Chain A
Amino acid sequence: MKTISFAVAAATACFSLGAWAAGAADSVSVVDPYVRLAPPGAQATGAFMVLKNAGDKDVKVVKAENSASKITELHTHINENGVMKMRPVPAIDIKAKGEAVLQPGGLHVMMIDLKEPMKEGDKVAITLDFDDGSSKKVDATVRKPMPMPAMPAAADHSEHMKP
């Protein structure tokens, strides 16, 4: 009996997985997904990627999950006069024929409470759930933090208080 119910559950899961893989998930492609290698001692890190929407409809990522941390959230950063405010966002919008850029200093998939220390080259399975119920699985590679001028401040010169 137990076996049967398990089999049914498994079959249902497979079926639903198949059903999800339509809609938004089909029109969205993921470019260069990566996870920032968390320094030893760090309990959180972020995943970054570019989401391109080839479809004619706006879509949203409403939820994410990943294999490397216990908690996954969608976050962004707000730079208020040099103060970085990290905030969860309810969704990441990807306009029709447009793209959403998840990059350092901005939108990211926040990975909290890492299950174990990670190393460069590890793969992290990230599942993105879209607003139409479809979902997409992405394999992101763990990379070392790279200096990437992502903020508008990158063009600024350093500020001097005294000449």
Chain B
Amino acid sequence: MSQRLLFAVVALLAMAVIALALFWQPQLPSVPGLSSAPAGGDFVLTSADGPIDTAALRGKVVLIYFGYTYCPDICPTSLAVTSQALGKLAPDELALVKTVFVSVDPERDTPARLKSYVEFFHPSIVGVTGSAEQVALAAREYGAVYARQDVGGAGYVIDHSAWTYVVAPDGHLAGRIPHGATVEQTLAEIRKWLPSSSTPKGSS
């Protein structure tokens, strides 16, 4: 009796497994290739001096960082490293690099506040933001994540990824520099993607 029951259970399980194998086709998030690798992409956001369209930056190495000015530590550290790396570039190299600081806190960060904030680090950095939807869209393209947390006495803080994205002159997302990278590592990463015209013996 119990043997028959056991057999029935085993048979049922086997059928379930076969059915799963035949009919269940797990869909990974609909990104081709690597399951969750963001591809980057263009966005238009607002700076104090007008809109910034990343599509207009083809031909340059573009560094993109998602942060906010209430960030007391992580953003200033990342920006300080980036600015020191920018400071080590030759003028003709620097002309081919654009750094874009995207505020994920459009509620508090006005374009004017962003301008004075980023220019403190390096005059070539531009601070941009937009509507919550526009910022979310840009962040999604790069795989940047952020989440508002109502903690502490500051009203709120924002958890955020702290990578500096590196966009090659052809517009593809070439890499990301982790928080805590050194100035030298950052500099090497920028130079790796600089158009060959800015290196001594270009071939293109």
Does A113 make an interface contact (CB < 8 A)? Answer: yes
Which interface residue of B69, B73, B117, B160 has the most chain A CB atoms within 10 A?
Answer: B73
In angstroms, how far is the closest chain B Cβ from the Cβ of A114? 10
Q: Which residue on A lies nearest to B155, using beta carbons?
A: A112
From 168 to 186 in chain B, residues with beta carbon under 8 angstroms from any chain A beta carbon are 172-183, 185-186
Residue-wise, chain B 91-117 has the 8 Å CB interface mask toward A (1 for contact) of 000000000000000001000111111
CA distance A88 to B161 in the complex (A): 18
Number of interface residues of B (CB under 8 A): 51
Q: Assess whether A44 is in contact with B154, with CB atoms less than 8 Å apart.
A: yes
> From DSSP, what is the main secondary structure of chain B's interface residues?
mixed
Contact in complex: A147, B77 (CB < 8 Å): yes
Measured as residues with beta carbon below 8 angstroms from the partner, the interface class of chain A is 35 or more
Q: Does B28 sit within 8 A of A, measured CB to CB?
A: no
Complex: A156 Cα to B173 Cα, angstroms: 19
Complex Cα distance, B156 from A88, in Å, reads 11
Give residues in A with beta carbon < 8 Å to B.
36, 38-46, 71, 73, 75, 77, 79, 82-88, 104-105, 108, 110-113, 144-154, 156-162
Listed in ascending order, the chain B residues whose CB lies under 8 Å from chain A are 37, 69-74, 76-77, 79-81, 84, 108, 112-118, 120-121, 145, 149, 151-154, 157, 159-163, 166, 172-183, 185-186, 189
30 contacts between A and B (CB under 8 A): A36-B76, A41-B69, A41-B112, A41-B114, A41-B115, A43-B70, A43-B154, A44-B70, A44-B71, A45-B73, A73-B152, A75-B152, A86-B71, A86-B74, A86-B157, A87-B151, A88-B151, A105-B74, A112-B154, A147-B81, A148-B77, A150-B77, A153-B178, A153-B180, A158-B166, A158-B177, A158-B178, A158-B185, A158-B189, A161-B176
